[in-house]
């Protein structure tokens, strides 16, 4: 009776189990090791019941099993690292062909429960990445833009000084030629001249 109750309880727990890939995308360079994680809301009693599947597109088109954690198949390429609530797939020496969407799945009797999937993108280190090339050009463009801004600022400042100087010259000329003649009349000389004429 206890065994039947345990099996029924286990069936309920497993049927309510949700597997989830916390990483939407994992990126790795060619030759590196990629690690894809899968977490569960319930304890994975026996981590060997976890398997990993791969498809080349998302949503999945008939995923193909690449690793069953209960046996050591293809140990040089894949490794399983499982704990109570987490399962990790390690993919060694990744190549471009390893790109795709990976799902973890839990097998229990006739039940097969899949996760949401993680996209694995492999970067080819021999080819210059578009973002890397953009970053290198961005530095040159930024420096060139700052230099151009500095030259433009100096030019505008010099132009402003020239215009200000011309405005001051015009102002001085206007003051001198405003139509009024300023003179100092020496009345003593004027009176002396008149006396001499008499």
| 13 burial level (CB within 10 Å; 0-12, 13-18, 19+) | middle
Question: Which residues are within 8 A (CB) of 120 and not within 5 positions of it... i.e. 6 or more apart?
Answer: 25, 26, 27, 28, 34, 36, 91, 94, 98, 99, 100, 101, 102
Question: Which residues are within 8 A (CB) of 66 and not within 5 positions of it... i.e. 6 or more apart?
Answer: 52, 53, 54, 74, 78, 102
pLDDT at 47: 57
pLDDT at 5: 40
pLDDT at 44: 73
pLDDT at 13: 47
What span, in angstroms and rounded, lies between the C-alpha atoms of 138 and 141?
Answer: 5
pLDDT at 135: 66
**Model pLDDT for residues 120-172, shown as the tens digit of each residue:** 999 987 655 555 556 667 777 887 888 888 888 888 888 888 877 776 766 65
What span, in angstroms and rounded, lies between the C-alpha atoms of 70 and 65?
Answer: 13
**Mean pLDDT per 10-residue interval, the chain, length 198 residues:** 42 68 94 94 73 78 85 80 89 94 86 89 72 66 83 84 73 56 61 64
One DSSP character per residue, the chain reads -HHHHHHHHHHHHHHT--EE-S-SEEEEETTS-EEEEEEESS--S-GGGEEEEEESSSS-SS-EEEEETTS-TTTTTEEEEE-SSEEEEEE-S--GGG-EEEEEEEEETTEEEE---EEEEEE-TTSPPHHHHHHHHHHHHHHHHHHHHHHHHHHHHHHHHHHHHHHHHHHHHHHHTSS-------HHHHHHHHHHH-
């Amino acid at each position: 009776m206890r065994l039947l109750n345990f099996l029924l309880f286990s069936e309920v727990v497993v049927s309510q189990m949700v597997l989830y890939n916390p990483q939407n995308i994992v990126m790795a360079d060619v030759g590196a090791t990629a690690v894809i994680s899968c977490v569960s809301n319930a304890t994975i009693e026996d981590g060997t019941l976890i398997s990993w599947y791969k498809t080349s597109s998302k949503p999945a088109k008939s995923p193909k099993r690449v690793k069953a954690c209960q046996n050591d198949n293809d140990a040089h390429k894949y490794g399983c690292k499982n704990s109570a609530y987490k399962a990790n797939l390690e993919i060694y020496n990744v190549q471009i062909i390893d790109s795709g969407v990976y799902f973890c799945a839990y097998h229990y009797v006739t039940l097969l429960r899949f996760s949401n999937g993680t996209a694995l993108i492999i970067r080819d280190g021999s080819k210059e990445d578009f973002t890397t090339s953009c970053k290198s050009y961005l530095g040159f463009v930024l420096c060139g833009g700052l230099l151009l801004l500095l030259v433009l600022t100096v030019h505008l400042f010099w132009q402003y000084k020239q215009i200000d100087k011309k405005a001051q010259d015009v102002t001085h000329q206007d003051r001198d030629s405003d139509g009024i003649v300023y003179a100092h009349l020496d009345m003593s000389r004027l009176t002396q001249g008149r006396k001499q004429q008499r």
